[in-house]
Amino acid sequence: MKKNNLLAHIIGSTSRTLLALTFLFSGFVKCIDPLGTVYKIEDYLKAFGGWCNDLLPYAGIAAVCLIALEFLLGVCLLTNVRTKWTSWITLAFMLVMTPLTLWIALTNPVSDCGCFGDALVLTNWQTFYKNVVLMVLVIMLLCCQKAIPQLWSWWAELIIALCGLAVAGGIMYYSYTHLPSMDFRPYKVGNHIPTLMEDEIPPKIDVFYTFQKDGHEQEFVYAERPDLQGDSSWTFVKQETRVLEEGKEPTIHDFEILQGEYNEELGEYLWINDITYDILESEEPVALVVMYDLKKTDRKQMDKLMNIIHEYSTVYFLTGSGEDEIVKMAEELGWDEETTFSTFCVADPVTLKTIVRANPGLVVIQNGTVMEKKNFRQVEFN
């Protein structure tokens, strides 16, 4: 009996620790980038469509609740707080997430699951397999939890849980009002953007030729084809192109900045002037004020937006919003048409959300290298 209890204790404690580390890691990388989780939930809701679009305004609340729950479960599992309750809550969580991730893997509405933020990118199928393993660990923990002694009093457990929530909330608040303390994205400070735009690895492809002789088929690569070797006893059957090694897209493949250019024939500005490499090749610092959605831009920062153009010799406002929103913002800034369409530029909103987790955010690029990134709340002028 004692041996059985020891075995149950080892199995239960091992399962509990593995679950705790997984949930803590998942919760922590989301804590340091809460807006990333909001964007991911919004991506899923948009992909699901229908009535899910009505839930978009609540993506922020959902993100905070998800992050807090994951982090709290990790803390409680690691410190052995209310193991029975924590195990059942974890099981309920996995009973929701596992079928959901299976459906996502089958339908592939979004290619990146986002379960570990940008710190560890998994495919949808890898996410589902990971959840299956976690489900097994939860079941093992539930079966063995009676063999795991409780270490804390009720008050101590309450304090541990509240401290866990306070830590998660504090990290999220700081990351939201500033920027993520750890940046796992390709536009982090110090990265050379042109290098990451050119680090593509092409796939390794070869063509295989099938020939037949005396009822026997054999494959050859081009250089070894028997007909090229002067052997006419072989009869050609077919050829097939195969990918021997998968390639890799460039790390940055969607960085493009377009400036308005006045078209005299149409009498309007068109977003056709590509200034991407003008910015990347500039030897002087170029300040990019990133506002992926002007409707959601923090209007409390308007005075700073006005002052930023006096701090740097070259400043561009980047947005993914349409021309109507750009004109509306320019009117708030008191700019004329020429200033508006020479300063405002358009870019993919997804790219802008990847570049900096703030709306507005400041990114300074010099010689193609990201020199500085700030949430506009952090920007100060002399």
* pLDDT tens digits along 246-299: 888 899 989 999 998 888 787 778 888 999 999 999 999 999 999 999 998 888
Residues 55/42, Cβ–Cβ less than 8 Å: no
Asked if residue 187 is part of any domain, the answer here is no
| pLDDT higher than 70, residue 359 | yes
The C-alpha atoms of residue 102 and residue 110 are separated, in whole angstroms, by 13
362 band by pLDDT with thresholds 50, 70 and 90: very high
Q: Are residues 209 and 283 in the same domain?
A: no
Asked if residue 16 is part of any domain, the answer here is yes
| pLDDT higher than 60, residue 346 | yes
Q: Are residues 241 and 265 in the same domain?
A: no
The C-alpha atoms of residue 75 and residue 31 are separated, in whole angstroms, by 14
Summary mean pLDDT of the chain? 90
- Residue range of the domain that includes 233: 204-245
Asked if residue 196 is part of any domain, the answer here is no
Percentage of the residues of the chain whose pLDDT score is greater than 70: 98
99 band by pLDDT with thresholds 50, 70 and 90: very high
Report the chain's terminal Cα–Cα distance, integer Å: 74
**Cis amide leading into 360 (omega within 30):** yes
Q: Are residues 132 and 213 in the same domain?
A: no
Asked if residue 253 is part of any domain, the answer here is no
Asked if residue 184 is part of any domain, the answer here is no
Percentage of the residues of the chain whose pLDDT score is greater than 90: 55
The C-alpha atoms of residue 179 and residue 33 are separated, in whole angstroms, by 8
Q: Are residues 43 and 138 in the same domain?
A: yes
Asked if residue 278 is part of any domain, the answer here is yes
Average pLDDT over residues 231-249: 90
Q: Are residues 172 and 220 in the same domain?
A: no
Asked if residue 64 is part of any domain, the answer here is yes
Instruction: Lowest mean pLDDT of 63-67, 110-114, 164-168, 215-219, name the range.
Output: 110-114
- Residue recorded with tokens 């978009």: 56
- Number of domains the chain is built from: 3
Res 2: pLDDT = 56
Q: Are residues 135 and 267 in the same domain?
A: no
Q: Are residues 110 and 72 in the same domain?
A: yes
Asked if residue 189 is part of any domain, the answer here is no
Q: Are residues 285 and 360 in the same domain?
A: yes
Res 1: pLDDT = 43
Res 122: pLDDT = 87
Element (H, E) at 112: none
